Structure 1
Amino acid sequence: MTSVLLYAAIAALVLYKLVYQQVRGTLLDRRTLVAMPLLLTAVGGYLTLKALPGASAAELGLLAADLLVLAGLGVLRSATTTLTERDGTTFQRGSAVTIGLWLLTVAVRIGVAAPAAAIGAAGPLTSASIALTLGVSIAVQNATTYRRIQRRGLPLADRRPALSR
């Protein structure tokens, strides 16, 4: 029951904070590119480390594959957003494809449970690593976005400027 609540809380956070904001568009600054993936990766890393002692080789392999697939989806999600200059920083807006890739990201992460059970790798590591895998996926997306910002010469504020509506 606890892992279901954890999945639901993380999914709600991801859906609001990232997906909704990316679709409606958001001003980017260094803090917005770093804070969420850092928090998820730190919490997920801690929970994953706690679950490692009892993990099987199959669980470790599944975690590695999950990290690689979700990192790849992070690169793809970044590529589907448009970046423009607004209010002295970069404005990012996602597309319908971005939404589809977020749905695929969540489906892949939740879908890990079925093959994990089939190969006998549905131990505590599988559920403990959700924050880590999503944190890594978002970190890769944001690092790719940062690289795109740098290549295009767009500004990136140190602090989020006040929105003018």
Structure 2
Amino acid sequence: MEPILISFLIPLAVVFVVYRQMQTRPTERRGILYTAAAMIVIGIASGGVVDSRHLVLSLCLALVEAVIAVALGVWRATTVRVWLDDSGVSWSRATGWTMLVWLVSVAVRVGLYFAGAALGLELSTSGVLLFVGLTIGAQSYVAARRGRALSSTVRRPDTVVG
């Protein structure tokens, strides 16, 4: 995929995802996980995540970026409000803290980009796509798990015991 097109699509995708997170939505949504997986696959398939001239250094940076992306996604998921409605369906909605951690995520990603540039690595937009896919996927997965955990702790009246 063309770097200019990726550079245009990534901010649009992030803005769309953040906008959707600010809406009240069921926690069980597989569509966002598929979107995150597609971003990861496209990021890797586009090439440029690893600089072949500095293989070990760029692999280390890519690994650090992946770990940080997942950690930031998990952190954001803990800031999302999750609750059950009267019928036992779990819902979620991002909070102001979620927005703050999104800003931290963007700042960290920019910092990693400049760190790679300072180390002399040839950088590509596909690394950003990989980072965004990992962080969105981690956040969505953890928020959904929180919703499932919450709904499993509530005993429904229609449950037969014994």
Counterpart CA distance in 1 for 2:132 and 2:14 is 9
Aligned partner of 1:58 in structure 2 is: 57
Determine what percentage of the aligned residue pairs are the same residue.
23
One-letter code aligned to 2:61: L
The normalised TM-score by structure 2 is 0.78
Contact 1:81/1:98 (8 A) holds in 2: yes
Counterpart CA distance in 2 for 1:63 and 1:52 is 7
Contact 1:29/1:89 (8 A) holds in 2: no
SS at match of 2:90: strand
Aligned partner of 1:45 in structure 2 is: 44
Deviation, 1:146, is 2.2
One-letter code aligned to 2:95: S
Q: When the two structures are aligned, how many residues end up with a matched partner? A: 149
Point out the structure with max Rg over C-alpha.
Answer: 2
Contact 1:58/1:120 (8 A) holds in 2: no
Instruction: Show CA shifts across 1:14-45 (max 9, x none).
Output: 111x2111123223334234222121112112
Counterpart CA distance in 2 for 1:128 and 1:94 is 27
SS at match of 1:112: helix
Deviation, 1:127, is 2.8
The normalised TM-score by structure 1 is 0.77
Q: Does 1:141 align with 2:139?
A: yes
One-letter code aligned to 2:108: V
CA gap 1:102/1:8 in 2 versus in 1, 3 angstroms: farther
Instruction: Show CA shifts across 1:60-105 (max 9, x none).
Output: 1111111111111001100000112347643211111100111221
CA gap 1:146/1:25 in 2 versus in 1, 3 angstroms: same
SS at match of 2:46: helix
Contact 1:26/1:91 (8 A) holds in 2: yes
SS at match of 2:30: helix
Aligned partner of 1:9 in structure 2 is: 9
CA gap 1:7/1:108 in 2 versus in 1, 3 angstroms: farther
CA gap 1:55/1:41 in 2 versus in 1, 3 angstroms: farther
One-letter code aligned to 1:146: A
RMSD value, Cα: 2.3
Counterpart CA distance in 1 for 2:8 and 2:107 is 13
